[in-house]
């Protein structure tokens, strides 16, 4: 029996030795580069002797936080990305050949360079609320509309951890796509410059509270192009509508860009209508400025359009003469939980629901709308509606009537046509923004809010108390929360 056991043990040892010999590989070279010379991104090129999967484990020395990259499939040449690094920070790392018996390189080190001066965010000090736990484990995406245009991600310590820059055009607004990329609206920088600069609370109250904003079809947070960008900074495609669309009404989009699961893009455009309208007691023929929904693919092919003029009775409209160049100023588009469209119509102080198939106007919610609601919860010149995970409708109330801005959410009963207020997170009075801005619910129950005209990006509680704030040197159209799942396919924190 002892002899048999000895034979079995010897065989196991022999088999183990054979496996180790078979799996043994050699790490030939490791090269680190910094694409686009950014302080927050290193690309690692790895060469090994025999095909095998490879990944990298790396640790931030100061904090001890460790991360693991994705696993590169079996090959002899591998390219791995170390993303969202901190500037001017030292890291240790090991290359791991992912055989049956993992082979780890010796511990190596690298240090990221200092942050570019123009990307240093100086807000993070005792002068602003800075509870680093308030944001949670995601980051914040903001856009810059002048030249050069850019998008950047800010972390909970106010540091810029990612950016993408374009030289010839501004970046007006951006959204997160279903495939974890950023979809951005590109805007000629010389247009609509009034939206680019911050204002004092007094300037906002005294000069920026009127409506409508008649600035022509290139205004209204407008753009003439689209681009999709990956987290590695790769431009996946760019589409300049003014170069591919012959019809002028289709060359300018505004306010919203959403990609659906089929990778088609839903946006807003400015269809016009020639009509006879009463002006000062006389009938005049004029070109009216309206709004609509346009669905396009990534090549610029127009798949579908909808115009507000299809559902609006001009003859019954007492304001058509006064607001003829900007009757609706639709400034927000989202999908309802049933797949239909919700539109923000700020001149009416309402959210409209539009049937995505028939184009019919289903209902209007807000002041003088179809729902019974608490009149103290009325909103004015609102922006950025969206449906929360619990099904409630959230929007950003600019508050032109009472000059108080902030996030509000409502639970709508579409059968009974009633609305219950579930969130009323008004910002401090000095964070009033007459235009632009947004609010969204964070996974931890706090709100991300953007007071665009004051340049303030904030995390608040549900009562509007500011817990975290970054005051930017420009007026961001909105602030978008980017959850950590966005970079899961690139790396994950392991301790």
- Average pLDDT of span 340-369: 97
Task: Please name every residue paired with 275 in a beta bridge, in sequence order, or none if there are none.
Answer: 286
Lowest-pLDDT range of 18-22, 124-128, 150-154, 433-437: 18-22
Report d(CA 151, CA 161) in Å as an integer.
Answer: 11
- Average pLDDT of span 262-286: 92
* Cβ proximity of 256 and 223 under 8 Å: no
> Which of the following CATH numbers is that of domain 117-486: 3.40.50.2000, 3.30.700.30, 2.120.10.30, 2.40.50.140?
2.120.10.30
Q: How many residues does the chain have?
A: 495
* Confidence label for 321 from pLDDT (cuts 50, 70 and 90): confident
pLDDT at residue number 124:
66
Does pLDDT of 197 surpass 90?
no
> Which of the following CATH numbers is that of domain 29-111: 3.40.630.30, 2.60.40.10, 2.170.120.20, 3.40.50.300?
2.60.40.10
Lowest-pLDDT range of 4-13, 59-68, 110-119, 137-146: 4-13
pLDDT at residue number 478:
97
Does pLDDT of 147 surpass 70?
yes
- Percentage of residues of the chain with pLDDT beyond 90: 77
Does pLDDT of 462 surpass 60?
yes
* Confidence label for 206 from pLDDT (cuts 50, 70 and 90): confident
Lowest-pLDDT range of 124-138, 142-156, 186-200, 397-411: 186-200
pLDDT at residue number 231:
97
What residues contact 54, with CB distance under 8 A and at least 6 apart?
46, 48, 71, 72, 78, 80, 95, 96, 97, 98
Both structure tokens of 450: 């953007």
Does pLDDT of 21 surpass 50?
no
pLDDT at residue number 16:
53
pLDDT at residue number 3:
58
pLDDT at residue number 220:
63
Task: Please name every residue paired with 362 in a beta bridge, in sequence order, or none if there are none.
Answer: none
* Cβ proximity of 107 and 92 under 8 Å: yes
- Average pLDDT of span 297-313: 96
* Confidence label for 196 from pLDDT (cuts 50, 70 and 90): confident
- Average pLDDT of span 244-261: 93
**DSSP line for 236-299:** EEEEEHHHH--SGGGS-EEEEEEE-TTS-EEEEE--EEEEEEEETTEEEEEEEE--EEEEE-TT
- Average pLDDT of span 298-311: 96
Closest CA to 164 of 229, 244, 108: 229
Q: In the 8-state DSSP scheme, what is residue 370? A: S
* Cβ proximity of 56 and 480 under 8 Å: no
Does pLDDT of 14 surpass 70?
no
* Confidence label for 100 from pLDDT (cuts 50, 70 and 90): confident
Does pLDDT of 15 surpass 50?
no
Q: What angle do CA 364, 435, 201 make, to 5 degrees?
A: 135
* 471 vs 201, higher pLDDT: 471
Lowest-pLDDT range of 2-11, 68-77, 186-195, 428-437: 2-11
pLDDT at residue number 121:
80
- Predicted TM-score (pTM) of the model is 0.92
Does pLDDT of 232 surpass 60?
yes
Does pLDDT of 96 surpass 70?
yes
- What residue spans define the domains of the chain? 29-111, 117-486
Does pLDDT of 130 surpass 60?
yes
pLDDT at residue number 322:
85
Closest CA to 103 of 55, 68, 61: 55
């Amino acid at each position: 029996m002892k002899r048999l056991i000895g034979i079995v043990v010897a065989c196991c040892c022999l088999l183990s030795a054979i496996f180790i010999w078979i799996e043994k590989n050699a790490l030939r070279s490791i090269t680190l580069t910094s694409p686009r010379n950014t302080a927050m991104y290193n690309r690692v090129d790895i060469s090994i002797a025999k095909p095998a999967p490879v990944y990298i484990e790396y640790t931030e020395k100061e904090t001890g936080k460790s991360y693991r990259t994705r696993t590169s499939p079996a090959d002899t040449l591998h390219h791995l990305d170390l993303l969202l690094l901190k500037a001017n920070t030292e890291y240790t790392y090991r290359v791991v050949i992912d055989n049956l018996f993992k082979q780890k390189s010796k511990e190596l080190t690298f240090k990221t360079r200092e942050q570019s001066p123009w990307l240093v965010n100086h807000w993070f000090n005792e002068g602003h609320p800075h509870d680093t736990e308030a944001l949670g484990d995601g980051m914040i995406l903001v856009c810059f509309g002048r030249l050069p245009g850019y998008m950047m991600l800010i972390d909970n310590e106010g540091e810029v951890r990612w950016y993408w820059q374009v030289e010839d055009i501004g970046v007006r607004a951006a959204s997160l796509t279903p495939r974890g990329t950023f979809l951005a609206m590109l805007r000629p920088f010389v247009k609509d410059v009034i939206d680019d600069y911050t204002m004092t609370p007094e300037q906002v109250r005294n000069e920026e509270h009127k409506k409508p904003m008649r600035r022509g079809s290139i205004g209204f947070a407008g753009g003439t192009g689209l681009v999709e960008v990956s987290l590695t900074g790769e431009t996946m495609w760019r589409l300049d509508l003014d170069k591919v669309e012959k019809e002028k009404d289709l060359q300018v989009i505004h306010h919203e860009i959403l990609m659906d699961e089929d990778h088609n893009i839903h946006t807003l455009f400015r269809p016009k209508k020639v009509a006879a309208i009463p002006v000062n007691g006389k009938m005049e023929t004029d070109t009216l400025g309206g709004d609509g929904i346009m669905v396009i693919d990534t090549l610029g092919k127009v798949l579908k359009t909808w115009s507000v003029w299809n559902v609006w009775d001009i003859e019954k409209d007492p304001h058509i003469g006064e607001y003829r160049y900007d009757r609706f100023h639709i400034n927000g588009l989202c999908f309802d939980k049933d797949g239909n469209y919700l539109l923000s119509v700020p001149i009416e102080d309402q959210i409209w629901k539009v049937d995505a198939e028939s184009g019919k106007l289903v209902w209007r919610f807000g002041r003088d709308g179809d729902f019974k609601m608490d009149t103290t919860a009325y909103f004015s010149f609102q922006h950025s509606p969206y449906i929360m995970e619990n099904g409630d409708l959230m929007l950003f109330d600019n508050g032109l009537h009472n000059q108080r801005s902030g996030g509000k959410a409502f639970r709508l009963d579409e059968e009974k046509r009633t609305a219950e207020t579930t969130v009323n997170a008004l910002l401090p009075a000095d964070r009033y923004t007459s235009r632009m801005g947004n609010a969204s619910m964070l996974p931890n129950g706090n709100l991300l809010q953007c007071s665009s005209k004051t340049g303030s990006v904030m995390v608040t509680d549900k009562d509007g108390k500011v817990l975290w704030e970054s005051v930017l040197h420009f007026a961001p159209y909105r602030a978008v929360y980017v959850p950590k799942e966005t970079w899961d396919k690139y790396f994950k924190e392991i301790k």
